[in-house]
Structure 1
Amino acid sequence: MREAESGGRRAIWRDGRSVALLMAASLTVMANATISPALPGLERLFHSDPNAAILTRLLVPAPSLMVAIVAPFAGLLADRFGRRHLLLAGVLLFVISGCAGLLLPDLPTIFASRLVLGIAVALVMTAQTALIGDYFEGWRRGAFAGLQVSARNFGGFLFISLAGWIALLSPRAPFAIYALPLVFLPFMWRAIVEPVLAARSRSSSVEGEGKAHRRWVPTFVALVLLQAITNMLFFLMPTQLPFLFDVRGVNSAVMTGTALGVLTLAGGCFALLYARVENGIGFGGVFAVGYGAMACGFLLLILSEAFFSLAGAAMIGGGYALVSPAFVALALGTAPASRRGLAGGLLTASIFIGQFISPLISTPWIENVGYDGVFVGAACLLAAMAMAATVVRLARPALSPSA
């Protein structure tokens, strides 16, 4: 079995479609958190705007609002018309809308460009998730889901670390990073092919399949809600961490870039281990370990020393990277083939709903209890989720990885 898995992983890396999908996956972190190190500088640049404080904080999660709205419809389009063109159009729109912040004159128009960026992300992520379900089966699907999260995190490490340094030149400079996907767009154009399965599903009647898989809906809804909560907590990092460092009097741009770089680098490493961890302890164990690590990470953030802040960021990134592929593997294993586009859209929407509401909940929360109170509260909630996952693991030991 292990030899088969090893050979399968080598086959994944040799498959041009897989490489192209991993390239698309790297856009996810870039979409939101790339400009995070520049937030304090942007707030100072547009200080004359009376809404500068809230608009600046919403620039990071702004794409999430449009993703949450558009992704389910993008999923329906993917099921009806195909995944390939949806993915490629999304990448091109991503470049145009992402770079717009270099030239736009004020915060409201920059915010509008971030909303358009969210439409692009919805197209890319929805099509990508559906293609994972179409291209891979069984344990290979779970293994690729781990590689996808790893690509997101390693891409995030590169993009966010770079943004932290170029933000020292100008708070607008990080918007230039959104032009990088132009480098690999030609390869994606050649490598991504429309799955035969998807075409067959669109051309055939799915009424009988829908009835046969009706039981997938409650399980899928539970996964969507849990993923939204997970991302709401995780997104405290890019939206509130820059201001925590600013309050502490450290170099916010550099320290935020470093901390988020450590977070994504740790996540990339842990995501590579996902398939083996899932194979050893099952989905319940993955959630227990991942949420436990995130809880410990938030507790470390309340310590003012830089070492503990970076260690906490690493634990949060590693824990999040373990639970994220489990959502994809469980959801795609639950949804029928003819509904993978819709499932991918709803799963994508849940990620960004959590991201968008994160600052809306945490900002007034911080005003009442401070950063320490918020991070302790997040740690307690994650610890409770870890304990619940442990109970599920003990009660249902048969809940194991895909065959």
Structure 2
Amino acid sequence: MDILRDPRAIALLLAASLTIMSNATISPSLPGIEAAFADTPNAGLLTRLLVTAPALLIAIAAPFAGIAADRFGRKRQLLAGVALFAVAGSAGLWLGDLYAILASRLILGLAVAAVMTSQAALLGDIFNPEQRGRFMGYQMAAVNFGGFLFIALAGWLAGIWALLPFALYAVALLYLPFLSRTLPDSRGGAAPSGGAMPEGDGSQGWFLILAFVIFLSGLTFILFYVMPTQIPYFLADTGHADPSTSGAVMACVVLAAGTVSLFFGWIRRRLGRGGTPATGFAVMGAGFWVLHSATTVPLFFGAALLVGAGLGLAIPNFIAIALDVAPAHRRGTVSGAITTSIFLGQFISPLVSQPLIDSFGYRVTFEAAAIALAVIVPFVALGLRRPRGGYAEDPA
């Protein structure tokens, strides 16, 4: 039976779709928010941190949220996280102080940590490795198609009022009844009725594999988040200051990532466990290389499509590998570690990119990102290749 016929899979996809909203949804609003709070000291840096501030608390809280999911149950944590997500995410709509909005973004990060770790642990509990491989492609597609809708809508709303995109976070409240009714609870790798049976104590050397995946996840998002944090300013610097343009560029990123993710299982079967993310890094690098010399809107869109396609190849692999190799009773903890690396990378990104941009400009920074991605390709291909006698590649 196709996994998408399972209502539990739909519920997990809805929960996953919230993660794209945590940061990038307000990206088209950044110039308008900075202008609205121009009298606030360091308004430029604080405004950029609104995109990545949730990542700081996610990075801190995710390991503890993962342990809590293992110990106390996934479902209750997921529902509480979704409710907090709606309240904290939409708070920027009525808060009148930039520091207060930044504080609400930190609370949003706590909610996302609870949602992501419990959602990933439930995925590991309910479905077997073959199903997880297919699901990860669908999840990446759901996240990015949802992001396409939310970011495109946010660009339009930002043109009306810079704070209006915060209202989009309230959509999470609509998910709660379905999530509550559909998802089973589980803890410590005990599969719910009809779910996957718990697996063994993990693959040989699983901790080393996980450490490499954690490193790659963080690096990927340090480089990728140069796009949502800097693209609105880069476009304005090149004469394309309309928020709808930056919204459309970011929408191209998530549209490409979502489209590629639909074919993740098929691609992974052919390129392998290491070849698929290595190809993703190469494609992302090509996107940043195009971006560093782009001067017209079609080239901006082309670069965004390449960066998004590369992300769609890389990220589902990392999460699938981590869930497959880790012991069943450690899935919450493992998902917390991956979540920490992803969002710590997001938080660090502007702290790395902004000094480079201040010193060398946007184009040199984009060129440096392209070179870094090219350098890492062979290490990814070799380091993540499936060992002889390892578990089979996921079928499409």
Mark yes or no: TM-score above 0.5.
yes
Contact preservation (8 Å) 1:243, 1:252: no
Shift, 1:224, TM fit: 0.5
Letter in 1 for 2:9: S
Q: Residues 148-167 of structure 1 correspond to what in structure 2 (within 5 A)?
A: 148-167=139-158
Determine the C-alpha separation between the residues in 1 that align with 2:120 and 2:188. Answer: 14
User: Shift in Å at residue 393 of structure 1?
Assistant: 7.7
Equivalent position to 1:284, from 274, 286, 299: 274
C-alpha contact 2:288 2:366 (8 A) present in aligned 1: yes
The Cα shift of 1:146 comes to 1.1
* Structure-1 separation of matches of 2:270 and 2:127: 21
Equivalence map 1:20-31=2 (5 Å): 20-31=11-22
**Structure 2: runs of 5+ lacking an equivalent:** 193-199
What is the CA distance between 1:252 and its match in structure 2? 3.7
- Taking the TM superposition and a 5 Å limit, the aligned residue runs for 1:114-263 are 114-195=105-186, 198-199=189-190, 215-263=205-253
Contact 1:232 1:358 (C-alpha < 8 Å) held by counterparts: yes
Q: Deviations over 1:318-377 (max 9, x none)?
A: 110111110111101111001000001111111000000000010011111110011000
Cα deviation code 1:172-197 (max 9, x no counterpart)? 00000001112222111111111377
Establish whether residue 329 from structure 1 lines up as the match of residue 320 from structure 2. Answer: yes
Aligned to 1:339: 330
Superposed CA deviations along residues 83-116 of structure 1, whole A, max 9, x for unmatched, are: 0000000000000000100111111000000000
Return the match for 2:378 from 371, 383, 387.
387
**Who is 1:401 aligned against?**
393
| Secondary structure in structure 1 of the residue aligned to 2:172 | helix
Distance between the aligned counterparts of 1:391 and 1:76, measured in 2?
Answer: 31
Equivalent residue letter for 1:220: L
Question: CA offset at residue 392 of structure 1?
Answer: 5.3
Question: Aligned with 2:19: secondary structure?
Answer: helix
Question: How far, CA to CA, are the matches of 1:196 and 1:248 in structure 2?
Answer: 52
Question: Structure 1: 5+ residue runs without aligned partners?
Answer: 1-6, 202-208
Would the aligned equivalents of 1:283 and 1:401 in 2 still touch at CA under 8 Å? yes
Following the alignment from structure 2 to structure 1, what is the Cα–Cα distance between the partners of residues 166 and 352? 26
1:264 and 2:269 matched: no
Structure-2 separation of matches of 1:289 and 1:251: 33
Residue 50 of structure 1, CA deviation:
1.4
User: Is 1:320 aligned with 2:311?
Assistant: yes
What is the SS of the residue equivalent to 1:60?
helix
Name the SS for the 2:361 alignment partner: helix
Does 2:348 align with 1:357? yes
1:105 is aligned, of 89, 93, 96, to: 96
CA drift of 1:266 comes to 0.9
In structure 1, the residue matched to 2:42 is 51
Amino acid at match of 2:210: F
Q: CA deviation at 1:390?
A: 4.1
Contact 1:82 1:198 in 2 (8 A): no
One-letter code aligned to 2:252: V
CA distance in 2, matches of 1:344, 1:393: 18
Aligned twin of 1:275: 265
What is the CA–CA distance in structure 2 between the aligned matches of 1:396 and 1:379, rounded to whole Å? 29
Q: 1:394 to 1:218 in 2, by over 3 A?
A: closer
Instruction: Tell me how far 1:276 sits from its aligned partner.
Output: 0.6
CA deviation map 1:213-248 (0-9, x unaligned): 683222211110111001110111100111101111
Question: Structure 2 CA distance, aligned partners of 1:199 and 1:13?
Answer: 22
Alignment-derived partner of residue 367 in structure 1: 358
Q: Any idea what SS the aligned residue of 2:51 has?
A: coil
Counterpart CA distance in 2 for 1:373 and 1:130 is: 40
Equivalent residues of 1:32, 1:60 under 8 A apart: yes
Q: Distance in 2 between matches of 1:51 and 1:336?
A: 46
Q: TM-score, normalised by structure 1?
A: 0.92
Aligned equivalent of 1:311:
302
1:138 and 1:177, CA in 2 relative to 1: closer, same or farther beyond 3 A? Answer: same
Q: Aligned equivalents of 1:127 and 1:78: distance in 2?
A: 6
Question: Structure 2 CA distance, aligned partners of 1:197 and 1:323?
Answer: 28
Taking a change above 3 Å as real, the CA distance of residues 101 and 13 of structure 1, as seen in their structure-2 partners, is same
Alpha-carbon deviations, 1:151-176, whole Å to 9, x = none? 11001000000000010111000000
SS of the residue 1:34 aligns to? helix
Q: Which SS does the other structure have where 1:250 is aligned?
A: coil
**Matched residues in 1 for 2:74 and 2:191: separation?**
13
Corresponding residue for residue 299 of structure 1? 289
Aligned counterpart for 2:85 among listed residues 72, 78, 94? 94
Supply the distance in 2 between the matched residues of 1:339 and 1:277 (Cα, whole angstroms).
28
